Amino acid sequence: MRNPVARAKTARGSFPLGSLGPVADLESHLPEDWWRKLFNALYVKTDGDVVENAENTRRDVDLVLSALQPDLNSRILDLCCGQGRHALELARRGYSNVMGLDRSRYLIRLAKKRAQAEKLHVAFREGDARRPRLAEGNFDAVLILGNSFGYFAKKQDDEKVLGAVARLLAPGGRVFLDLTDGGWIKSQFEPRSWEWIDEHHFVCRERSLASDGERLISREVIVHDESGVLADQFYAERLYTKEDLTEILSRLGYRDIAHHGMVDSISSREQDLGMMAKRMLITAAAPPRARKARGKRKTLDVVVAMGDPRRPDLIKRDGQFNPEDIETINTLKDTLAELKGYRFRYVDDHEHFEEKIKREPADLVLNLCDEGFNNDPFMELHVPALFEMWGLNYTGGAPRCLATCYDKGLVRAIALQLDIPVPLETYIRKGDQGATLPSVFPALLKPNFGDSSEGITKDAVVSDERGLINYLDKLHASFPNRPVLVQEFLPGGEYSVGLVGNPDMGLKALPLLEVDYSKLDKNLPQILGYESKWLPDSPYWSSIAYGETQLGEREQSKLVEYSMRLFERLGCR
């Protein structure tokens, strides 16, 4: 048998970079928030014999369904879902309203990729189990599976998780807990073990009880047989007995607490099962909710913040509000007037903006001022900043979100970091003699800062270097203080993805729309540019239509997933 410790040493006999060597007291090396960084690709590798074992997952889900007996339309939350193995198994069995939430960005992204690959509709979200920021009373069942409880340094934080679950459960909903049997593991844990996890990696483990006897501290040294130590990490779990959990659940108001026996995990390596060796299963019904006194719902006062039609607006046609803008505003007012339970007033006078906003108390500000303060698009973010300074609740993006989204190059960089396909791009400042002009044509030129397709016209699509230089000069003249982006022009379909909701509450995609260019002159480039939004006499205004896309399901799923990633990362709402 190969000796892992000998293989992990350097020629001098000392431990390589990344290892602490012998440690007398594991607890003294334990980070309080170890769980922030541990759950990554190495976790999937070291624990994969259990957490990637399909038989384990199927059996776990069998136990859940046997205990809870939910119907296929039940709203189920897999809390601390990891890579989503249980949530995905539920979806495979026809459960259509499943959500998974976990703190690990890596594991959530892995779960989303797997859902997409199998075309399974599960909503996966990042979040803290103590403060999940999900709609209260929205779930028929909340599952905490695979020994995903007891990680926090303070016992009160574990109780916060169960308190949050109580708020998330609908009346009659139930929680299902699957966690290590603390009494058993306290007396049976292995102080030291090691095992090969594949042909080139092995893991050495040390374990000891914390000084108070309530937590088991573990150390893992993960080693590659040629590269040496990859990680030397510490983690801990609080050891609960079924009596401990029963007392906590009772104190929090849970009812019908039931114990469903023990379960032993299956390991594809049949070696060190650690904390997963023997787990206990507990269910409980949601605490009763205090009944709210029925009464007539208060009419909500809503202020609608808008652009100022009295002022110039350099983006709009002829630099001012047009009849089309006024018609749109009137249609909006007529539509909002049909809503019951709301009282709307409109503020578009930016000279007296603060005075008119604050004139009467408002429950909510509906922020439709995408023109920006004083109709300056660079001051779009200033509008929500004012609302925040005045302590008002408002809709739409926060200042940081709007600032980021106004920078097209920055948004592209973020998309690239999120593994979203993006076109090739060159960033050119005025007078930048060192910039290398792209040689890929056709190309699309646009100002780096801006919205409403400002600076993007039919002439922005160029087919050669001369056309590129001519339009680049035109953009520099029209927008002297703005860098220009030169991107490869992507032919093919153009799609619109509408998202409703917020990442913390669940996002829903509306049916995808596809731009119909079939009636547009074939000699014109197929783009949604400035002409299509602001020039009624342009063929781009009159010859372009929209319809629900006939794109394949796989491609639609990709577009929705990409949109959701960006929506969440940019802080949209």
Q: Give, to the nearest 10 degrees, the angle between helix 105-118 and helix 553-570.
A: 160
121/183 same-domain check: yes
**Residue with token string 């699957």:** 178
- Based on the fold, state whether residues 359 and 275 are members of the same structural domain: no
pLDDT digits (tens, 9 = 90+) for 455-482: 999 999 999 999 999 999 999 999 998 9
Instruction: Kindly report, residue by residue over 387-442, the tens digit of the pLDDT.
Output: 999 999 999 999 999 999 999 999 999 999 888 999 999 999 887 765 667 778 99
With 0-12 / 13-18 / 19 or more C-beta atoms within 10 angstroms meaning exposed / middle / buried, residue 217 is buried
Asked whether residue 324 falls in the same domain as residue 224, the answer is no
Per-residue confidence band for 19, with pLDDT thresholds at 50, 70 and 90: low
| Coil/strand/helix, residue 21 | coil
Evaluate the CA torsion angle 431, 434, 439, 440 in order and state its sign.
negative
What confidence score (pLDDT) does residue 35 get? 82
* 142 and 67, same domain (yes or no): yes
CA 504 to chain centre: 8
Please report, rounded to a whole number, the percentage of residues in the chain having pLDDT higher than 70: 93
Short-list 532, 533, 559, 571, CA closest to 411: 571
Residue 243 lies in a domain: yes
CA 363 to chain centre: 28
- CATH number (domain holding residue 97): 3.40.50.150
The helix/strand count (H/E) of the chain reads as: 19, 23
Asked if the model's pLDDT at residue 294 lies above 70, the reply is no
pLDDT at 55 over 80: yes
Q: Which of 285, 319, 350 is the C-terminal boundary of a domain?
A: 285
Do 318 and 281 lie in one domain? The reply is: no
User: Final residue of a domain: which of 373, 400, 427?
Assistant: 400
How far is the CA of 438 from the CAs of 105, 461, 465, 476, in angstroms?
35, 13, 8, 17
Query: Which whole-number Å values give the CA distances from 565 to 134, 418, 445, 552, in the listed order?
Result: 18, 7, 26, 20
CA 341 to chain centre: 32
Residue 411 lies inside a defined structural domain of this protein: no
At residue 303, the pLDDT reads 97
Quick check: is 474 in a domain? no
| Per-residue pLDDT band at 13 (split at 50, 70, 90) | very low
- Could you tell me if 371 and 412 are in contact, meaning their C-beta atoms sit under 8 angstroms apart? no
Does 168 fall in a domain? yes
Give 346's Cβ-side CA count (13 Å radius): 14
According to DSSP, residue 28 is labeled G
Q: Are residues 359 and 252 in the same domain?
A: no
- Asked whether 137 and 171 are in contact (CB, 8 A), the reply is yes
**Are 342 and 199 part of one and the same domain?**
no
Q: Is residue 167 part of a domain?
A: yes
Are 226 and 81 within one domain?
A: yes
For residue 197, the enclosing domain spans 33-285
Closest CA to 109 of 33, 39, 38, 56: 39
H/E element, 222: strand 215-224
My answer on whether 235 and 311 are in the same domain is no
* Cα Rg, the chain, nearest whole Å: 29
Q: Which residues contact 353 (CB under 8 A, 6 or more apart)?
A: 347, 373, 386
pLDDT digits (tens, 9 = 90+) for 351-362: 999 999 998 889
Number of domains within the chain: 2
State the average pLDDT over residues 45-53. Answer: 78
What's the CATH number where 305 sits?
3.40.50.20
In this structure, the strands spanning 364-367 and 300-305 are parallel
Q: What is the structure's pLDDT at 292?
A: 59
The string of DSSP codes covering 410-442 is HHHHHHHHTT-----EEEE-TT-TTPPPP--SS
Q: Alpha-carbon torsion 439, 492, 119, 72, what sign?
A: positive
- 282 and 257 Cβ atoms separated by less than 8 Å: yes
For 66-90, the pLDDT digits (tens) are: 999 999 999 999 999 999 999 999 9
Bridge pairing between strands 255-264 and 278-285: antiparallel
Predicted structure pTM score? 0.58
- Cα separation, 506 vs 253, in Å, equals 27
Residue type at position 521 = D
Rounded to an integer, the average pLDDT of 355-370 is 93
Phi-psi category of residue 391: left, alpha or beta, with phi > 0 → left and psi -120 to 50 → alpha: left
Residues 267 and 331 in one domain: no
Residue-level pLDDT at 293: 57
Cis geometry, peptide bond prior to residue 480 (ω within 30 degrees of 0): no
User: Per-residue pLDDT tens for 375-393?
Assistant: 999 999 999 999 999 999 9
| CA dist., res. 534 & res. 324, Å (int) | 9
SS3 label, residue 245 = helix
Alpha carbons 520 and 538: distance in angstroms, whole number: 10
Last residue of a domain, one of 372, 400, 428: 400
The one-letter amino acid code at 68 reads L
Q: 169 lies in a domain?
A: yes
d(CA 419, CA 413): 10
* 2: its two tokens: 């190969």
Run of H or E residues at 568: helix 553-570
Residue-level pLDDT at 8:
37
pLDDT surpassing 80 at residue 373: yes
- pLDDT given at position 504: 67
Strands of 335-398, DSSP E: 342-347, 364-367
336 with 276, same domain? no
84 and 194 within one domain: yes
382: in domain: yes
Q: Worst-scoring range by mean pLDDT, 103-117, 285-299, 326-340, 462-476?
A: 285-299
Instruction: Cite the beta strand spans of 271-388 per DSSP E.
Output: 278-285, 300-305, 342-347, 364-367
Domain-embedded: residue 539: no
Question: What distance in Å separates the CA atoms of residue 458 and residue 425, rounded to the nearest whole number?
Answer: 19
